[in-house]
Amino acid sequence: MTSQPRTWVPSIEQLEASPGFPSQAELKERPLAVIECIEEIPCNPCESACPFGAIEVGQPITNLPRLVVDRCRGCGLCLPACPGQAIFLVDMTYSEREAAVSFVHEFLPLPRKGAIVNAVDRAGQVVCQATVLQVLNPAKYDRSPVIKLAVPKELAHQVRGMQRLG
C-alpha cells in the first residue's frame, strides 16, 4: 500500500492576512496584483520586476512580499517573474458580472483568445467555465505565459488557473 503525498492549500483567511493581499475595498477600485506568497523563503524577483516599486521584500530576503497598493498599476509584470507562480492579477472592475483573473500557465498547448476553458482553484479543482480574454507570451516572460480569464465575480478569489488543454 502506497501513501499519497498530501498537498497543503492555504485558506483564504491565511491569504487575506498576508501583506501581499489587497483589501476587498481596494480590489473594487482597479486591477491589482494579488500576492499569495505566505512562506518565508529567500526570494525577491517580484520586487525587482515591478517598475513602480509596488512590491517590497527588503531585508532579510525571507520577508514576505508586501504590496504597496497605491503604487500598483495592475500591469502584471510581476506575474511571470514569480518562480512560485504565487502572484495573480485580479480586476473586479472588468464588467458588472465578471472579473478578470490573470495567472501564469506554463502548459502547452496554450489556449486561444475567446476559448472556453475550465477554470481551477488553488487545489486544481474545476470551479467554473471561463472565457480566455488574453494570452501573453512575449520572449521577455521567459516561457511563462500569462493567461487572462473572465470569471463570475463571486469566484474571482477562487480561480487561480485553468485546466491543462489536450
Query: pLDDT of 98-154, one tens digit each?
Result: 999 999 999 999 999 999 999 999 999 999 999 999 999 998 898 999 999 999 999
By the 8 A CB rule, do 147 and 88 touch? no
Report if pTM > 0.75: yes
By the 8 A CB rule, do 38 and 14 touch? yes
Band of residue 8 on the pLDDT scale cut at 50, 70, 90: confident
Mean pLDDT of the chain: 94
CA separation for the pair 76, 150 (Å, rounded) = 16
Q: What is the grid cell recorded at 157?
A: 478569489
Q: What is the grid cell recorded at 154?
A: 463571486
According to the model, what pLDDT value does residue 16 have? 86
By the 8 A CB rule, do 156 and 95 touch? no
Query: Domain residue spans in the chain?
Result: 14-86, 94-166
Query: pLDDT of 34-50, one tens digit each?
Result: 999 999 999 999 999 99
Query: pLDDT of 132-141, one tens digit each?
Result: 999 999 988 9
Query: pLDDT of 10-36, one tens digit each?
Result: 888 889 889 999 999 999 999 999 999
Instruction: Name the CATH topology of 14-86.
Output: Alpha-Beta Plaits (3.30.70)
pLDDT exceeds cutoff 90 at 96? yes
- How are strands ordered across the β-sheet holding 116-120? 32-35, 87-91, 98-104, 146-152, 126-136, 116-120, 161-162
